[in-house]
Amino acid sequence: MISEAVIRALSRFVPEENIRLQEPMAGHTTFRIGGPADCFVQLENKEQMIQVQRYLRQVGMPFFILGNGSNLLVSDKGYRGIVLQIGQRMSRITVAGSIITAQAGASMSQIARAALEHGLTGLEFASGIPGTIGGGVVMNAGAYDGELSGIVTQVNVVNGEGEYMELENESMEFGYRTSIIRNNSFTVTEVIMKLEKGDREQIKAKMEDLAAKRREKQPLEYPSAGSTFKRPRGNFAGKLIMDAGLRGFQIGGAKVSEKHCGFIINTGNATAEDVRDVISEVQERVKEMFHVDLEPEILFLG
């Protein structure tokens, strides 16, 4: 439980209405799964982020930075600590020429639409990714042969000491679904991207084509966390899972999608334990049949 002293301290940095106790996390993840966080705080700006994190580190209170919750599985027991949400209150997007600057809480689909409005190409691949740009650069999000590493020029972060830092692309150590931020106590505040001038109609057509492919191939009608596993070298997780005979495999409310075996979906009443059990069975069966270790792409909290 969070003490009254901690709550009083937090209320010095953020408005009291932004602080909630025992907040169900199922309402803050695309999986629609998760028990209550001891405390849930909505941040409005970089200054609040710095002050709150600095205080929580001083008192040794565990905390987790949340964006859109699109790549996350929260335990049924919830989270014993404080969830700091960077969302719509920190989602400003500005465009100057071919440069887009977005606060960490802006969704990648929102930024892609802004690029379209200004006739900028290079971000079409991200138009259907549900996460925020802050979470996106942490894992170098990508789809359809595009990755953020190809367009990001600078990422502004707050480090573990509460200091503001500007990281150039070369310092980000981007890799497949990873970056330097994933292994350090950095929190993204802003992302700067450089795109190219393009034809607005061609950009729109490409975005519509990718959206149609997603609707056709991905189980968008069900809650999920997107692709459950990272792509193994030289193969595809979905194909391995399908070839292992696990299409439609289900435990409780968690199920391997029949439309795309790389997705585990919530059929309506799945628990986090159901999802973990399906993940374990998939990993064991694929390992046994193909000698391939499937590594989860989603994060586990609690």
**Which are the catalytic amino acids?**
177, 227, 297
Tokens of 17: 């209405």
CA atoms of 8 and 287, how far apart (whole Å): 50
Q: Are strands 120-121 and 99-103 parallel, antiparallel or unpaired?
A: unpaired
Q: Return all residues near 21 (Cβ < 8 A) that are at least 6 apart.
A: 2, 7, 38, 39, 40
Return all residues near 94 (Cβ < 8 A) that are at least 6 apart: 100, 101, 102
Burial of 233 (0-12, 13-18, 19+ CB in 10 A): exposed
Assign residue 60 a region (left: φ > 0; alpha: ψ between -120 and 50; beta: otherwise).
Answer: left
Do 158 and 186 touch, CB atoms closer than 8 A? Answer: yes
